[in-house]
Amino acid sequence: MQNAILIGIGAGLASAALYSTVVSYSLLAFILLYLAPLPLFIAGFGWGAVTAGIGAIAGSLAIMIATGFKPGLLFFLSVGLSPILISHLAQLSRPVPPGTTGPAIASDREYYPEGRMVLWLAAMAGLLVTVTVLILGPDAESFRAAMRDMLSRSMTVNPALQNDLPQANTEELKALIEIFVRLMPPVSGVLWLLAAFVNVLLAAKIVTASNRALRPWAPFHALSFPRSAVYGPLAAMVLAILPGTVGIVGETYVAVLLAAFALVGLASIHRRTLGLDSQPLILGAVYGVLLIFNWIVVLALSGIGITQTMARRDTDNGGSAPNGGLPPVSS
């Protein structure tokens, strides 16, 4: 237990250090910021959710001592909370009949599916944006006014942006700010989700390679959602057409859930190309096009992910079927 406590504290301080690099406003600093949860995920996947919780508290206290209560609370909500939740879910398991096989089954026990963890991450991404909107708002106009003020001041004061942006108070700058205000909630949610997903993948690989994994981890190509998940984007679209704060929240969840389904679509391409000599070429082309065209490709991948999800054959709508309910792969 003492070892787990020390590991948790060390992970929390490492996460706090990565989180604090954002003050330099460099590209590397933002990359390190998004990697801040990684030490906590490693601690949680290798030593348990309690260790991740100790680390989250330790990191939050370090941030509070250094910069104040609100930054420390923000660290806990945006960095520390997801490793605690996902580490807890990762340890959940249930017995299965002998002989049942699947990517997340070991010792006749089926572990909590990775796909459901991604859905939890998507829900947390939308919730974090919702809390931010309510704090800065709580109504939509107050939130947008606060965002306009913050963006206007950051764009006109930051010397690094002076040569790349229109002059202050021009119509071009105002139009640019309006675009950022409109896009910031959904984009922030999507970036948080993707960063959390990457951290989960990296942490799972690290603890598995070091023989510290508390559960078997399915490969990325096995990622899938229960069929009921397809109703999430539909419900979010209904909210998105409503006015005010509800509409902002709906737009955020539409973007976040479509990004989550895009991950399933990308996993499907990985799975369908298994065993092919041309897999590196195909995947390289997919990722290259994704980097260039961004949302166009994301929407296409989302469609693939939704189609794959609707075609699942699991019997309990949650992934207890062999191979997680995925269609068979012919290689």
Query: Do 86 and 101 lie in a common domain?
Result: no
Please report the pLDDT score of residue 253 as a whole number. Answer: 96
**Among 36, 61, 91, where does a domain finish?**
91
Query: Do 84 and 99 lie in a common domain?
Result: no
Mean pLDDT over 188-216 rounds to 94
Please report the pLDDT score of residue 197 as a whole number. Answer: 96
Query: Do 64 and 98 lie in a common domain?
Result: no
Mean pLDDT over 192-216 rounds to 94
Mean pLDDT over 219-243 rounds to 94
168 versus 104: the higher-pLDDT residue is 104
Position 314 confidence tier, pLDDT thresholds 50, 70, 90: low
**Among 64, 91, 118, where does a domain finish?**
91
Query: Do 57 and 44 lie in a common domain?
Result: yes
Within a domain: 331: no
**Among 37, 67, 91, where does a domain finish?**
91
**CA separation for the pair 215, 312 (Å, rounded):** 24
Of 185, 81, 172, 206, residue with least CA distance to 126: 185
HEC sequence for 312-325: CCCCCCCCCCHHHH
Out of 51-60, 71-80, 141-150, 225-234, pick the least confident.
141-150
pTM of the model: 0.86
Q: What range does the domain containing 302 cover?
A: 92-325
Q: Quick one: DSSP state of residue 242?
A: S
Is the Cβ–Cβ distance between 237 and 172 less than 8 Å?
no
Q: Residues in the chain, how many? A: 331
Of 151, 288, 272, residue with least CA distance to 223: 272
Please report the pLDDT score of residue 275 as a whole number. Answer: 87
Position 167 confidence tier, pLDDT thresholds 50, 70, 90: low
**CA separation for the pair 124, 46 (Å, rounded):** 22
Query: Do 84 and 131 lie in a common domain?
Result: no
Q: Is the pLDDT of residue 171 over 60?
A: yes
Query: Do 261 and 134 lie in a common domain?
Result: yes
Q: What is the mean pLDDT of the chain?
A: 85
Within a domain: 330: no
Mean pLDDT over 17-28 rounds to 80
Mean pLDDT over 233-262 rounds to 94
Q: Is the pLDDT of residue 317 over 70?
A: no
Please report the pLDDT score of residue 158 as a whole number. Answer: 55
Query: Do 78 and 130 lie in a common domain?
Result: no
Out of 162-171, 175-184, 196-205, pick the least confident.
162-171
Within a domain: 198: yes
Is the Cβ–Cβ distance between 213 and 301 less than 8 Å?
no
Q: Residue 24 is encoded by which pair of tokens?
A: 């330099």
Other CB atoms within 10 A of residue 255 CB: 27
Q: Is the pLDDT of residue 168 over 80?
A: no
Of 215, 218, 210, residue with least CA distance to 7: 210
Query: Do 83 and 189 lie in a common domain?
Result: no
Domain count, the chain: 2
Is the Cβ–Cβ distance between 25 and 158 less than 8 Å?
yes
Mean pLDDT over 69-81 rounds to 92
**CA separation for the pair 12, 151 (Å, rounded):** 31
Out of 37-41, 172-176, 205-209, 222-226, pick the least confident.
172-176
Angle formed by the axes of helices 114-136 and 140-157, nearest 10°: 90
Q: Is the pLDDT of residue 274 over 50?
A: yes
Within a domain: 197: yes
Within a domain: 7: yes
326 versus 166: the higher-pLDDT residue is 166
Out of 77-86, 212-221, 231-240, 313-322, pick the least confident.
313-322
Encode pLDDT of 96-146 as tens digits: 776 666 665 666 788 999 999 999 999 999 999 999 898 887 888 888 888
Other CB atoms within 10 A of residue 174 CB: 14
Q: Report the amino acid identity of residue 143.
A: F
Paired with 109 in beta bridges are 95, 106
Position 191 confidence tier, pLDDT thresholds 50, 70, 90: very high
**Cβ contacts of 230-238, under 8 Å, gap ≥ 24:** 230/306, 230/309, 230/310, 232/119, 232/122, 232/257, 233/257, 233/258, 233/261, 233/306
Query: Do 168 and 307 lie in a common domain?
Result: yes
> In the chain, pLDDT over 70 holds for what percent of residues?
85
Q: Is the pLDDT of residue 233 over 90?
A: yes
Please report the pLDDT score of residue 323 as a whole number. Answer: 40
Within a domain: 281: yes
